[in-house]
Every structure is written in structure tokens, then in C-alpha cells.
Structure 1
């Protein structure tokens, strides 16, 4: 009653008891005047409709808040992962650049030394030539004096005796072709820079090798789980090899088994820390390797993407792809024979390596690892000619010096 005037139509001074779709509350007289052609309903009916809508909004708002809180967490987690990666990379990069600076300084010192040696050699050559010239000048000066003295001699016998020794000049060099050529330091600098470039290139080639050696320290011993193997797959007795058998076998029903896809998991799973394993893919024209979370769909045809719990590297004939959405196409590795797979569970990082070439292939970061991870393999089928019949082999790590 305190706000009774708000319930009255200001135009007709009647009680507002109806609702018009124009989003206005109206009185009975409004329905025969300004709102004559508008459909109206009692306020209670509109109240119930809006109440239902309000309930929906009320239910949606907490969900929207939660989604945004989750997004904040994801962003913070990404920043934390970035910071951890930066903290790890900065000292490693510092070591690399320190080594490179050392090589540059060594190259500079070697260049300076070569320039100094050339300069000393040029100076010594000049000094030796000057010394030889001065000696000849001295000999010639002495001869000139003797000739001058002899020219004033009146003793015929003495003149002839001395002239015999003067008629042959002292041995001297033909100096018309003798010169001191200043050394070319530009060539020295060019060779030093070329040598430095070669050294740096060798150092750059060693970086992936050093990185591979680092991740190989986290090698784990894994074996294939026959309870997960699709019916077409054949396993070796030691559970280290798998290939396509060509026909479906009748196997016991098992909730862990893949029935629609030709996949197999290992017995071992990992829920934290770092782990690394290698798979031989030699002589194959199709395969994929990687990791998968425990709850993946094993009975359907789910697409093999990170959103569905798969992080895999796929090869078929002439294509190398990291299966994502969209797929990431990678440069084809010639003669790719063995693939190394490294996972840092806590940092959400997955890397693949060409083991024989000791080259990094691809790294996926920001991966959402929230369940136990299993190494996963697929040898892919072979054709009627037997192409791709070679097995995938889980191989022991062979670290080189």
C-alpha cells in the first residue's frame, strides 16, 4: 500500500492488472484505447512465465561463473607452465650462449694470433732484406773507395796487382724482382669466420643431441597389454612387438579391449613425473605412436585428438602428422626408423624425436593430463602384397657418447 500509486495507470487512474507484449503493464481501459489491438494477459500469467525464465537465468549464472573461474585457472596454469619452462630454459640457454661466446672468443684470439704471426713474418722478411741490402751497400762502398784509391796510383806494378782483385765485382743480388708484399688480412678474417661458422654449426647440431640425451634419462620399461589389443593384432612372446595379423581372432570379451580400432596399450601407466620410451618403425608405411588417457573410448570410432584423450604422431606413406584439431603437418623425416616419445606429465608437455638422426620432430605443450597415461601403438594394416607387415617394436634406449 505504501507504493499504491505505482500500481495505478497514470493515464486512466485504474489498477494495473494486465500485461501487454510491448513490455508494459496496463489497465482495462488501456486495452480499449492505446493497446486496443495488442493481445494482453493477466499479470499473474506473465509473472509465472518470467519467473520460469528467471529460474533458468539463476541456474545459468553460477555455471557461467564457474566456467570463467575454470578459464582463469587454465590461464594461470598456462602462465605457471610457461614460467617453469622459462626457468628451465634460461639456465640451459645461458650455458649454450656461454659456450658459443667461448667459441667466438677463441676464434677472435686465433685470428689475432694469425694476424700477429703474419705481421711478424713480414717485418722479419723486411729486416732480413734490409740487412742484406745494407751489407751489399757496405761492400760496394768499400769497393768504391778501393777503386778511387787505385785510380790515383802511379806504381804500374802495384796498379795491375790490385786491379786483378777489383775487376770482378762482389756477389750481389738482382733486386729488381725483390719486393716485400704486405699480407692480406682479409683472407685470414674470412677463413677465421668460416671456421667459426663451421664450429657454431657443429655446436648447433649437438643441441638436439644433448636434448635427446637429457630426455633419454627418463626411460621406462613398458610391455604391451594383450587385454587391450584389437583382435587383428599379433603380439610377440615378450610383449614388445605388435603387427597386423590380417584376420580377426575370436577373443574373450574384455572392457579394456579395442573393438573398432586397431590399437593396443601398454600394461604400465603414468600419473606424474616424466617418462620416455622408443618405438622402432623401420620398414613400415603406416603407423602411429603416442600416449592416451585411461578413459578413452575403446569400443567406438572416436576421433584420435587431444580433446578425446589421444596425443599421437601418425605416419602414412608420405605424410607425418601430429593428430590435433586441426592436424599439424610436419616435415617428412627421411629414413625415419625409430621414434622417441617423451612426456612431462606435470608440465603438460609431449615431445617426439627421430632417434637415429637425433633430431627433434615436434612438441605439444599445454596438454591436459588429468588421468593415468598409457603409451599407445597402432601398426596399421598391411596390404595384399605384404607392405607394412613389419612390426612396431618397443626398443631399449641405446644412448651414445
Structure 2
């Protein structure tokens, strides 16, 4: 059941092609082309400005040469005159050389495009980030339409766990409860599944993780080992996110480290059973967190929650299966 994995965030962007939630190519090449055109236009304008400055300097130099040549001819003619009065009158205007530029300090450097390129790249990054947010927002709206109503199954809940009466919340109760033997129950780790399972089509649900310091959630196949310490990987039948003090990761072998989103409060989980896709979303920020793609599902999948244990009051908040707020 190996899966191909994809993830992206606002900090990581691409000018090429990304895949939307249904596997269709979504090109952002238009953004790259726009950025390229703007950069080319900026380069042309900068080059045009440099050429104009060079041409202006050439004209100024030519004018100085012409003035000095005329002056030299005038002085030469004056040196041969025998009219002393004319000589004295004209010499006054010729004795002081005309003001000229110090051309040893003048240079026309080839234009530098580093700043222009950096500004263009910054603009491109900003544009791409905006486009990615729009894409993700549209994607999240699409998957939210596949919302399912699920409730937690007490027959699967580890003896430490406390479930709400409506089956929408779960937290660690600290005390091990004496419960009837049940082959469906988890007995090593504080896991719980929902009553509902899915064997085809698409489904989506959201879980509030606010105020939690340690949790795990996602989906799991029906035949997962429930009485031992099997590690959560796609091979053992788990497609889950895990959050703790070390960060956020997708459970696999090896685990996939993910960018930690600030104030992650609610996680959306979308599954396309037939296409083999499991995706996770930061609902409040409306950002895609991670997708496992190319998965092969051959048995029912159950939404999976693990509130983990509380220690001295920390991590006591529940995981809450929340209704989807589908915005326009």
C-alpha cells in the first residue's frame, strides 16, 4: 500500500505544475510568464536608459571638442594678427579656457540587473503565493462538499479514553476503565475509530485540535492490529498526521516531517478511496498541509483519532469532530 507523497506551503512555491485534489494538473505557468515579461520589460527600460545616457555623454563630448577646436583656430588666427588693439580686445575672451568635464572620471557601466531580478522574483513569489492561496481555498471548498457525519465507536476506544455522549469528542481520562473484552478495542495505545467506515467514493471530516499539545488523526483500514505495538505507517494501514512538541509529521516509514503551522486549530481530512488519495488541510488558514497519493485501498477505511495522554493537566483538551462550515 505504498503511497506517493506531496506537500506544499506558502513558504514553498513552484512556477511549474501542481496537482489539485482530484489529480488534475493545475498550471501556474501564466504567473511565471507574466513575471518573465515584466522582468524583460524592466531590462529593456534599463538598457534604454543606459544607452541614452551614453549617447548624451557622446554629444556633450563632441560639443566640447568642437568648442575647443574653434577656440584653437581662433587663437591661431589671433597669433598672426598685426592689429595690436584687436589682439588685446580678443585676448581677454580667449585667455581663460572654457569649462570642460573631467572625462577621466566618467564611465558608462553596463546596467546591473541583480536588483531588478530580485524585485521581479519577490513580486513573482507574492503573486504565486496569492494564486496558491486561491487554489487551496477553492480546493478546500470542493472537498468540504464531501462532508460525512461520523461518530466515535466506544467499542474500539482504549480503556483510558473518555467519549462524549454524542460521540463527537474524546480525551484521555487518565484512569484505566474495566471494560468487556472486545476484539475491536485498542488495548495498547489510546486510539479510537468511528462507527462509520467507507469502501468507495470520497469523504471528508474535520477535527478540532485547539489547545492540544499531542495528538494524532487520519484514517485507518479495518484490519489494523489493535492489541499490539505496530507502528503507524501506510504499510500497516494508517494514514495519519501526528503532532507533538517535536513538530508535525505524516506517519510513515520513515516519518515525513512537515512545516509546523502556527496556531493549528482544526484539521480537515479528505479521502478519495477510488483514486487512492488522503489529504490533510489547515482549515482555519485554508492551507493544504499534506497529501498521500497513489495509495491502494482494498478494505474499509475508518476515521481515526488519538488524543494521546495527559500529564499533570497538560494535553487535557479533547479532540472534537466538528461540523463543516462551508463558506461561499
**SS of corresponding position for 2:99:** coil
Structure 1's 267 and 157: CA in aligned 2 closer, same or farther, altered over 3 A? same
Pick one of 375, 378, 382 that aligns with 2:310. Answer: 382
Displacement of 1:303 after TM fit?
6.3
Quickly say closer, same or farther: Cα 1:400–1:102, change in 2 above 3 A.
farther
How does 1:338-349 map onto structure 2 within 5 Å? Answer: 338-349=266-277
Partner of 1:367: 296
SS of residue paired to 2:113: helix
Instruction: Classify 1:267/1:150 alpha carbon distance in 2 versus 1 (closer, same or farther; 3 Å).
Output: same
Which digits, 9 at most, give the CA deviation of each residue in 1:250-293, with x for residues without a partner?
Answer: 88x79898474644444554443212223233444543322345
Q: Could you say which structure has the higher strand fraction?
A: 2
Is the contact made by 1:277 and 1:340 (CA closer than 8 Å) also made in structure 2? yes
Superposition pairs of residues 189-228 of structure 1, within 5 angstroms: 192=117, 195-196=120-121, 199=124, 203=128, 210=135, 213-215=138-140, 217-219=142-144, 220=147, 222-225=149-152, 228=155
- Residue 329 (structure 1) aligned with residue 260 (structure 2): no
**Structure 2: distance between partners of 1:333 and 1:378:** 21
Aligned CA distance change for structure 1 residues 179 and 342 (closer, same or farther; 3 Å) = same
Match of 1:177 in 2: 104
TM-score normalised to structure 2 length: 0.66
- 1:361 Cα offset (Å): 3.7
Tell me by how many angstroms 1:99 deviates.
3.5
In the TM superposition, what whole-angstrom CA distance separates every residue of 1:289-326 from its partner, at most 9, and x where no partner exists? 223456878xx6266677886544455664877667xx
1:393 aligns with 2:324: no
Aligned residues: 302
Q: Distance in 2 between matches of 1:375 and 1:307?
A: 17
Residue 22 of structure 1 corresponds to none
Instruction: Quote the offset at 1:159 in angstroms.
Output: 3.8
Q: Structure 2 matches for 1:87-106, cutoff 5 A?
A: 89=23, 91-92=24-25, 95-96=27-28, 98-99=29-30, 102-103=33-34, 106=35
Residues 227 and 257 of structure 1 are in contact (CA less than 8 Å); yes or no, is this contact kept in structure 2? no
Rg larger for: 1
- Flag the 1:233–1:111 CA change in 2: closer, same or farther, 3 A: closer
Tell me whether 1:272 sits opposite 2:200 in the alignment.
yes
Cα deviation 1:218-241 (Å, max 9, x = unaligned): 221535346547464334576543
Q: Quick check: which one's helix share is greater?
A: 1
2: distance between equivalents of 1:309 and 1:136? Answer: 85
The 2-side partners of 1:150 and 1:333 are apart by 85
How do residues 101-140 of structure 1 correspond to structure 2 at under 5 angstroms?
Answer: 102-103=33-34, 106-107=35-36, 109-140=37-68
In structure 2, list runs of 5 or more residues that go unmatched: 4-18
Q: Hey, what's the Cα distance between the residues in 2 that align with 1:140 and 1:307?
A: 89
What is the distance in 1 between the residues matched to 2:79 and 2:247? 101
| 1: CA distance, partners of 2:85 / 2:320 | 110
- Alignment gaps of 5+ in structure 1: 1-73, 79-84
Contact in 1 for aligned 2:198/2:302 (Cα 8 Å): yes
Higher relative contact order by CA 8 Å / sep ≥ 6: 1 or 2? 2
Which residue in the other structure is 1:33 paired with?
A: none
The residue number in structure 2 matching 1:167 is 95
- How large is the Cα RMSD of the aligned pairs? 4.8
